[in-house]
Amino acid sequence: MTRLSARSWRLLAAIGFWLLLAAAFMIGGVAGLLLGYASAIWLAAFSLGAWRRQDEFERAAQKFSWVFGGLFGLLGSLALLPLVLQPGMLDPLLALIDHALGGMSNPAAPAIVLGAIWIVLGQLIGFLLCWVGWHVTKQ
């Protein structure tokens, strides 16, 4: 097999993760839940593959972006909580997650899942902003 670059591994990590996650939401139920876990495992495996293949400059960019972008993304997601917790604001998302979970017996399940997604998404957006900013300033 041809040796793939770190960029290819990162691309595969992202594409596979989002495809599996989308499939998980569409299928729902136990199979969807398993696909959700599979998407996380896929992301971890290909991210590690990318990490091993990238040079120290890119590693420095990612460390910086996870520390500062992740931190400010986390704080940002918490700061926005009062806004999104307004009545009715999250109902469509909660309904979608409830459907994806196949109507689990625990009524708090959609809220817990949405809470986890909210924090991860905040950190991911913070990471991406920081990563782009880091590369722009280092050119």
Partner 1 sequence: MKNRIRELRTERGWTQADLAARLEVSRNSVNAIENGKYDPSLPLAFSIAKLFDLPIEKIFQRD
Which residues make up the interface to partner 1 (CB under 8 A)?
54-58, 60, 135, 137-139
Helices and strands, counts by H and E, the chain = 7, 0
CB of 137 to partner 1, least distance (A): 7
The pair of three-digit structure tokens given for residue 65, joined into one six-digit string: 């972006």
Least gap, CB of 132 to partner 1 (angstroms): 13
Residue nearer to partner 1 on the CB measure, 55 or 91: 55
For residues 56 and 91, which CB has a smaller minimum distance to partner 1 in the complex? 56
Give 52 or 138: the residue with its C-beta nearer to partner 1: 138
Nearer to partner 1, 58 or 98 (CB): 58
CB of 56 to partner 1, least distance (A): 5
The C-alpha atoms of residue 19 and residue 14 are separated, in whole angstroms, by: 9
Instruction: Tell me how long the chain is.
Output: 139
Distances (CA, A) of 108 to 37, 40, 44, 61, 83: 19, 22, 27, 38, 20
Minimum distance, C-beta of residue 57 to partner 1, in the bound complex (Å): 4
